[in-house]
Structure 1
Amino acid sequence: MVFAPPKGGTEDDAKDRFVPVGDALAALLTEHMRKHPPVEVTLPWMTKDGEPVTVRLVFTTRERKPLNKNYFNYLWKAALEAIGAITALNDRPVGKGRKWEECRDKMMHALRHLFASEAINEGVDVYTLADLLGHEDPAFTLRRYVHRVTGAVEKARKAIGRRYRVAA
């Protein structure tokens, strides 16, 4: 494993991506870090022979080591199975050969889509959302990440109704 910059925030891609965190989630993360203090981990930068870099990781393995993406995917798929989102194809233990149905559309990147859809659903304008996601073009954000808004027709009806009541 190596450390590398997150998507964005580099010379080639100067746009940072971030998710604003509300007080309730910040409190949960603070509590997690109180119970499980961040762990200092040193890995090479960018390549196996890169300069060693030490950072504090909030989420680690039980052994307090960095999460390998394959191990994380096993844990994620097991969680998806536990909530009934996917089905196991065999009865082997997680991490010991368990296989699941194809679920690329339910992996971690799906949370980015969920965030975008929920942000629009809660009234975040597409320009702000595009900025948060690191997109130069808000139209790309709409095409790629935003899905139908729950109750959109009813929201539009109410918005127009409020506007006409104000004008009357």
Structure 2
Amino acid sequence: MEKFPPVEVTRPLRTRDSEPVTVRLIFYTREKTAIQSNWFNSYVWKPALAAVGLIAPLDPTAKGRRWEKSHDKMMHALRHLYASMMINGGVDVYTLADRLGNSDPAFTLRKYVHRVAGAGSKVRQAVKGMYAKAA
């Protein structure tokens, strides 16, 4: 991050008020523009997954698909992992939605957050704490 700090990029997306959206990107091109996701997945992400043995490369001379199907290992899966880790770590859904660029926290919960590790014990601790305060 020190050698290649995030850059601010104004995207063609618009807010509801028709204002341009400016975001800070960690991954960007040498021209400091947003990376096209299909290019990144094909030429950077999937070769890296294959290099560490997480997916199998297919015949590189064949036309079409060059890697085995790997939808659950795509770069976007890191977004789901990040969201789940933040919720597991105690980050509230409003802050998480803001960090992910989602205007609706309920959407964030439906789309990105999966079962919270140790949720049962967290519920028991919360209830136990409420009774301790009331006593």
TM-score, with length taken from structure 1: 0.54
Aligned to 2:97: 130
| Counterpart-to-counterpart distance in 2, 1:135 and 1:104 | 22
Aligned to 2:50: 81
| Counterpart-to-counterpart distance in 1, 2:46 and 2:14 | 30
| Counterpart-to-counterpart distance in 1, 2:54 and 2:19 | 34
| Counterpart-to-counterpart distance in 2, 1:154 and 1:83 | 36
Shift of 1:124: 0.9
Shift of 1:75: 2.4
Letter of the structure 2 residue corresponding to residue 5 of structure 1: T
Distance 1:165 1:17, change over 3 A: farther
| Counterpart-to-counterpart distance in 2, 1:121 and 1:159 | 15
**What SS does the corresponding residue of 1:5 show, helix, strand or coil?**
strand
Aligned to 2:10: 5
Matched, 1:167 2:134: yes
Q: How high is the sequence identity, in percent, across the aligned residues? A: 49
Contact 1:17 1:132 in 2 (8 A): no
Q: RMSD between aligned alpha carbons?
A: 3.6
For structure 2, the residue ranges without an aligned partner over 5 or more in a row are 1-8
| Counterpart-to-counterpart distance in 2, 1:68 and 1:14 | 19
For structure 1, the residue ranges without an aligned partner over 5 or more in a row are 20-28, 30-38, 42-54, 58-65
**What SS does the corresponding residue of 1:128 show, helix, strand or coil?**
helix
The one of the two structures with greater contact order (alpha-carbon pairs below 8 A, sep at least 6) is 1
Letter of the structure 2 residue corresponding to residue 117 of structure 1: S
Distance 1:128 1:71, change over 3 A: closer
